[in-house]
Amino acid sequence: MKAELKTRLLEALGEAQAAGDLPPLETPAEIILERPKQASHGDLACNLAMQLAKSCRMNPRAVAQIIVRRLGDAGGLVAKTEIAGPGFINFFVGPLAWTRILPQIMAQGPDFGRGNWGHGKKAMVEFVSANPTGPLHVGHGRGAAVGDVLARLLAFSGFTVLSEYYINDAGNQMATLGRSVLYRARELRGGGDPFPDNHYRGDYIKNLASEFMATPEGADMLDIPEEQAVAKASAWAGAKILAGIEGDLQDFGVAIGSWFSERSLLARGAVDEAFAVLKARDLLYESEGALWFKATAFGDEKDRVVRRGNGELTYFASDIAYHLDKFRRGFSLLVDVWGADHHGYVPRLKAAMAGLDRSPDDLTVVLVQMVNLLRSGVPVAMSTRAGEFVTLKEVVDEVGGDSARFLFLTRRTEAQLDFDLEVAKAKSMDNPVFYVQYAHTRVKSVLRKAEAAGVSLPEPAAVDLARLELAEEADLARKLGEFPEMIEGAARNLEPHRLTYYLHELAGAFHSYYNAHRILSDDAALGAARILLTQAVGAVLAGGLSLLGVSAPEAM
């Protein structure tokens, strides 16, 4: 509907220009059609005339009049057109304008809303990528939900998408993990030095220590030189923790397509390759014994060290190599999902992209703000330093994956999120996921009721859509018709929260309709039309929930 009208408007504009009614200036990239807040302003409003007025040096209302004259009734699309205010063109559409989407929704089913602007290009969404030094906590969970849903949205938009988890298994952190295990092991055997502050203090380390000592591999860890013991403990504990992370993500419904090890990157000499690229462009230099990347050449505040004075590579060095590797693997769209506390790192990495002669615009970093965990409005104490944090697993076990996923996506990613465990469990209005799921079960319930009453579900093409004459029905159908553009907007802007908001609104519109009007009717034609509408609502709710990785229950 909207798209057709846009085409008609462009045609009308072209005709007017060809006829000399309007100066032959360039036309706007896209015609903007919006739904006015006020019903008296029509069903769709267009500001085209006001946009053109300036360059045409004409009164916007005069421009509007010329366009409207050329447009006519737009091939029967619009029932009435009027020029209002400073130069808005308001369109009043015919009764079938919105509801005729319904048979199409039923025909496309789960594919309704699927787009193809990705044209099969390869996109990578990298997310979580937590060091395997401890279990995932709630914050990681939010990042996982964001990354996973972005991947689904991009795939639904025509990209070939890979979800990747980058494992930082090469740096100091792993050695610290190994030492943490060793020191706890010594404690368990009695004695040992006091446990150092800057190590991993969580109880899970103690468990790992005793488990490790019980394995044949780790049995001798207290008898061998510290360096060896640390290396063994580090490797064993890292693998163990990573397996746990993988399990936690799986239980959370997150599918990681590829686990990418930093160590394997280094072993392959990828850093040297990346350095070679930078060197060839004269972007590396030595100073004070260290090797620096000229990040300032690409807008970063200062140059950055890539190899320290002691010969060790920085984390940044492997990150440069890692992102070069992503491009070399053929990904043309890179999305990195990071914790917002890393935001200062973005200019550096963007500079590195430019340094590698790639467009920094091909990389988008989505920053995810922290999660404040509450229980009935009271903050749940969390301190990573003391090793007391609430794990993702605990939250998912308590409130369920559906609830956690949906709630993690109810805010813009860059806004902090209050996550209340009691709300997440509530089976009421307070809990948006139940609200939406309940709308879906209502749809299913009505359909079951219809079948029980011997009413067979309608053949979409045979339904008389003109019977849907209520304002609520038109609204509902219009809302359904907006699903594809909402999806595209969410995917293009990498804003998954748009989907949860949309579903909440759609569910609300359906609840209102359901309460105000009976769907099943003795009037067979009316009943069939309403059932079709209800089915379409169900299909879109199910489709949207499925993109979120949230279940759409048949009954609750």
**For residue 516, which phi and psi values (nearest 5 degrees)?**
-90, -25
Q: Is 520 in the site for RNA (CB under 7 A)?
A: yes
Q: How many helices (H) and strands (E) does the chain have?
A: 20, 15
Q: In the complex with RNA, which residue's Cβ is closer, 4 or 430?
A: 430
| Cα 337–chain centre separation | 9
Beta strand extents in 396-547 (DSSP E only)? 417-420
Q: Which residues within the stretch 333-362 sit at the binding site for RNA (CB under 7 A)?
A: 340-345
Q: Which residue among 206, 498, 525, 546 contacts RNA (CB under 7 A)? A: 498
Grouping H, G, I as helix, E, B as strand and the rest as coil, residue 528 is helix
Q: Distance between CA 420 and CA 289 in Å, rounded?
A: 51
Q: Which residue among 261, 501, 546, 551 contacts RNA (CB under 7 A)? A: 501
Q: Which residues within the stretch 167-186 sit at the binding site for RNA (CB under 7 A)?
A: 168, 170-173
Q: Is 376 in the site for RNA (CB under 7 A)?
A: no
From 44-52, 61-69, 210-218, 219-227, span contacting RNA (CB under 7 A) = 44-52
Q: Which residues within the stretch 193-252 sit at the binding site for RNA (CB under 7 A)?
A: none
Mark residues 295-324: x for contact with RNA by CB under 7 A, - for none: ------x---x--xxx-x-xx---------
Q: Tokens for 293?
A: 């990347």
Q: Distance between CA 536 and CA 439 in Å, rounded?
A: 12
What minimum distance in Å lies between the beta carbon of 281 and RNA?
A: 22
Q: In the complex with RNA, which residue's Cβ is closer, 227 or 430?
A: 430
Q: In the complex with RNA, which residue's Cβ is closer, 118 or 218?
A: 118
Q: Is 263 in the site for RNA (CB under 7 A)?
A: no
Q: Is 84 in the site for RNA (CB under 7 A)?
A: yes
Neighbours of 111 (CB within 10 A): 10
Q: Is 27 in the site for RNA (CB under 7 A)?
A: no
Q: Is 523 in the site for RNA (CB under 7 A)?
A: no
**Which DSSP string corresponds to 216-227?**
TTTTTTTTS-HH
Q: In the complex with RNA, which residue's Cβ is closer, 272 or 301?
A: 301
Q: Distance between CA 69 and CA 286 in Å, rounded?
A: 70
Q: Is 425 in the site for RNA (CB under 7 A)?
A: no
What minimum distance in Å lies between the beta carbon of 525 and RNA?
A: 16
Q: Is 115 in the site for RNA (CB under 7 A)?
A: no
CA triple 144-433-424, angle to 5 deg: 75
Q: Is 37 in the site for RNA (CB under 7 A)?
A: yes
Task: Judge contact between 450 and 538, C-beta under 8 A.
Answer: no
Q: Is 284 in the site for RNA (CB under 7 A)?
A: no
Q: Distance between CA 476 and CA 482 in Å, rounded?
A: 10
| Cα 471–chain centre separation | 33
